[in-house]
Structure 1
């Protein structure tokens, strides 16, 4: 069931949003946050952070009346960046060139056929700065924090759940069970009540099928084949697995304006 359906369903008395995301498209983050805010205007919304709720993941979390995080949750990463691919060199090496006809100076601003000019980069910078300011203001309003305080802990910095609570980015430390109890309390539910999961939790077989269908082929398949030849362990096999993961990440860079609220690195906690 989509968020809009949950908002309009009178049988749903409260919503617990489980977040496990490094973020992604800034536009998508704003759209999800807006839908959650519309729900919050009609019924309680409580956020339960899993292991990761960073950047766009935190953006959507600001819609919650209460935010729970695990002590070791990685959150924050309040920041945005713009990314517009330039494949001119790659295409030219394959004998491919591009001709462009346009009616305005910036009509092909997001073209992947050439690098950006200084003027175009300035336009992208202004757009990125505007989205970043909107992100800061959203956090400031939602968390009741001065804008300067939010700016001081932003710029893409990540925080543990314990640190985030101290900084005012989350309300309490706890897991999904605590978030459910809080939502029931805010909705003034007494006695027995049902908990429904949306969307339905997929089986292991369904998740495996989805993973295979969505990964970037045929490059990922070739890398996987190399990894199998190298064996299950060793630095070369680890590199092959990392490459497969990175290719999957590249497929998520699909924001129509090229602006992302995403943690731009991979944390490896040892």
Structure 2
């Protein structure tokens, strides 16, 4: 039988896990899961985040969707895993409460943009680019030359704008002033315990503790707090091989490095 409407889950908790670098594919998967949380009217969402961050726009769209979900009455508790930094923090501050392990790596609030100046190498191998452009800044961050002072100032203003958006989101989500946020929003990483001192983290604990907290806030009965898993990445064959998960993570980071070159990122780069 095909039901005309999605199953209602008004007495259950949903769980969405965000793992690895945040990219367009992450955004699509998470937004689809958040729509299901809304349609099935889950009263609580456990948001597990284990991510070094990623692209700015994708992080912002997930953040906005979580805020809208909260406004409809869903209680969202974020659980920070091994690492929740940069864009992972941006998404996390949309939650009602944030729980982190004492040793969770978090922070890295800031923006980074990188290009590659290969002009010396290209000169040695005898390669020269011929560029025809419509405006003086059209080939900004071109790899065959260094940035001009004007280009550097232009890009710095872009980074400053993105940084201020980040700071404002953290300030609003954590009920802090922008001045308080800027005291620790200088790109540094810190532990979950330190994050609690800054006001970024509400409570220290593992995912089980975060689940119990979400159930308490939403008023769920004990028999209904086993989360319904939504979304999730498909298991890659590489992950089943020795060291495969590490290789897969490196591949994901490299993929963002290549596809988002010259793009502002909310990404922790160890």
Which of 193, 199, 203 is matched with 1:162 structurally? 193
How far, CA to CA, are the matches of 2:50 and 2:245 in structure 1?
21
- Deviation of 1:185 after TM superposition, in Å, equals 2.3
Gaps of 5+ in 2: 1-28
Q: Name the stretch that deviates more: 161-170 or 188-197.
A: 188-197
Which of 24, 31, 38 is matched with 1:3 structurally? 31
Contact (CA 8 Å) 2:80, 2:99: kept in 1 or not?
yes
Contact (CA 8 Å) 1:82, 1:260: kept in 2 or not?
yes
How far, CA to CA, are the matches of 1:213 and 1:89 in structure 2?
36
Which of 251, 254, 260 is matched with 1:250 structurally? 254
Contact (CA 8 Å) 2:46, 2:76: kept in 1 or not?
yes
Q: Judging changes above 3 Å, is the alpha-carbon distance between structure 1 residues 201 and 114 closer, same or farther for their aligned structure 2 residues?
A: closer
Contact (CA 8 Å) 1:68, 1:170: kept in 2 or not?
yes
How far, CA to CA, are the matches of 1:14 and 1:213 in structure 2?
30
Match of 2:62 in 1: 32
Q: Judging changes above 3 Å, is the alpha-carbon distance between structure 1 residues 95 and 251 closer, same or farther for their aligned structure 2 residues?
A: farther
Question: Residue by residue, what CA displacement relative to the aligned partner does 1:100-122 show, whole Å, maximum 9, x if unpaired?
Answer: 11111112224334322111111
Contact (CA 8 Å) 1:53, 1:75: kept in 2 or not?
yes
Q: Does 1:52 align with 2:52?
A: no
After TM superposition, the score normalised by the length of structure 2 is 0.76
Contact (CA 8 Å) 2:115, 2:261: kept in 1 or not?
no
Match of 2:15 in 1: none
How far, CA to CA, are the matches of 1:127 and 1:137 in structure 2?
16
Q: Judging changes above 3 Å, is the alpha-carbon distance between structure 1 residues 117 and 75 closer, same or farther for their aligned structure 2 residues?
A: same
After TM superposition, the score normalised by the length of structure 1 is 0.76
The DSSP-based 3-state class of the residue aligned with 2:229 is coil
The DSSP-based 3-state class of the residue aligned with 1:148 is helix
Gaps of 5+ in 1: 217-243, 266-270
How far, CA to CA, are the matches of 2:262 and 2:96 in structure 1?
30
Contact (CA 8 Å) 2:77, 2:98: kept in 1 or not?
yes
- Size of the aligned set, in residue pairs, is 236
Which of 116, 120, 140 is matched with 1:85 structurally? 116
Which of 253, 263, 267 is matched with 2:268 structurally? 263
Q: Name the stretch that deviates more: 152-161 or 180-189.
A: 180-189
Which of 86, 102, 105 is matched with 1:74 structurally? 105
Q: Name the stretch that deviates more: 38-47 or 255-264.
A: 255-264
How far, CA to CA, are the matches of 1:256 and 1:33 in structure 2?
23
Q: Does 1:152 align with 2:183?
A: yes
Q: CA RMSD in A?
A: 2.9
Match of 1:127 in 2: 158
Q: Does 1:21 align with 2:51?
A: yes
Match of 2:228 in 1: 196
Q: Judging changes above 3 Å, is the alpha-carbon distance between structure 1 residues 118 and 14 closer, same or farther for their aligned structure 2 residues?
A: same
Contact (CA 8 Å) 1:30, 1:60: kept in 2 or not?
yes
- Deviation of 1:215 after TM superposition, in Å, equals 6.2
Match of 2:204 in 1: 173
How far, CA to CA, are the matches of 2:247 and 2:146 in structure 1?
28
Contact (CA 8 Å) 2:44, 2:214: kept in 1 or not?
yes
